[in-house]
Amino acid sequence: MASVIGVEIAEQSIRAVEISRGRRPSVIAAGEVPLPEGVAKDSEILDPDAASLALRQLWSQANLRGGRVVLGISNRRVLVREYVSPRLAPELLRAALPYEVQDLLPVPVDQAVLDFYAVSETDTHILGLLVAAVSETVEGLIQTLANAKIRTEAVDFIPFGLARVVRSLRGVEPVVAIASVGEHTTNVVVTSEGIPRFVRIIPADLTTGLLAPAGAVAEAPGNPDGWVARRALATLPVETADPAITDLVGRLRGTLRFYAGREGAEPIHRLFLTGSGLSMPGVAAAVASGLELPVTELGVTDVIGLSKSVAAQGAPPPSLMNALGIALGDEK
């Protein structure tokens, strides 16, 4: 059975989701393993040996079987902006893009990895989202997987995966936003009919004061094996006004207001909230009360079915949503 594995290397842990392909895809394996402090920071690998060891542990514990491996990236150094290009055939656009955008990049074009997501087109031009990542960072992530004997077949942008998550939902309003809240980075995507129209990567550190000392392990209720193997969350009441959570809500509100103020912006009907940050006390409630639109929490089982072996472990945590979105990429 053909399958695809989406992988996300975050600062706190490494996450992977394997899905079957076909008419009714389902999650056939998934897991998460912790990373010791100092191994990775903002999706950059600082200790390749420790990260490769964690990858091998993840593959073994989660029983990942193979398939295409797609690496998801998103960090504060990734540039995302709207870009209008002359209408060209896809292969010609890829060849011309480095020359067209070199003045927009924060690094020399030969040090960047570029992607362009076409959103709409006219007779003469294509409007889309330009994504530029530092090639050294991407190559370091790929090499880390290679050191663990894992071959990366493709690299994808995590916000584009989140847009696919929205497309997988039924009965969704035409224009919605999805925010995947991470421990250090939050990805926000506004979609129209499932197509990403606006992307922001928000730096927001949520771990200060919210994590217990290293070595503690969070256990999922009713799941003896535990889905999430990482430092446990400190026990805080929901009403705790942690400054980090307040800052996140303010940044989300400002991001959505910025989008709404753009010329031709369609009103957002709903925000879907997901990501590892939902495990942190008070985050979901603070976001729901701090925004001026309906907020719906989104879990893995809202998006896709589970195989019997995965379902037996209980509902996968929302921290796996980024990896799921990457695995949902177009079949090759």
- Tell me the pLDDT tens digit for each residue of 39-60: 998 778 999 999 999 999 999 9
Please tell me whether residue 50 adopts helix, strand or coil conformation.
Answer: helix
- Amino acid letter, 43: S
Whether 235 has a pLDDT exceeding 60, the answer reads: no
Please tell me whether residue 12 adopts helix, strand or coil conformation. coil
Contact 141, 71 (CB under 8 A): yes
Integer angstrom CA distances of residue 273 from 8, 79, 92, 218, 322 = 18, 23, 37, 21, 12
Cα–Cα distance for residue pair 181/18, rounded to 1 Å: 21
Helix/strand/coil for 201: strand
What confidence score (pLDDT) does residue 8 get?
Answer: 96
Share of the chain above pLDDT 70, in %: 88
For the cut 90, the answer to whether the pLDDT of residue 100 exceeds it is no
Which pairing describes strands 44-45 and 305-306: parallel, antiparallel, or unpaired? unpaired
Nearest to 278 by CA among 295, 291, 294: 295
Over the stretch 129-179, which tens digit does the pLDDT of each residue have?
Answer: 989 998 999 999 999 999 999 999 999 999 999 999 999 998 999 999 999
What is the pLDDT averaged over residues 261-279? 92
Interval 276-289 mean pLDDT: 87
pLDDT number for residue 195 = 93
Say if residue 308's pLDDT is above 90: yes
pLDDT recorded at residue 159: 96
| Angle, helices 283-290/243-260, rounded to nearest 10 degrees | 40
| Region of residue 194 (phi > 0: left; psi between -120 and 50: alpha; otherwise: beta) | left
Helices then strands (H, E): number in the chain? 8, 16
Residue 190 pairs in a beta bridge with 177, 198
In DSSP terms, 180 is beta-bridged to 187, 274
231 pLDDT exceeds 60? no
CA gap 175, 190 in Å, rounded:
7
pLDDT of res. 177: 97
Mean pLDDT of the chain: 86
**pLDDT of 226 higher than 50:** no
Cβ-contact 113, 135 below 8 angstroms: yes
* Residues contacting residue 92 through CB under 8 Å, at least 6 positions apart: none
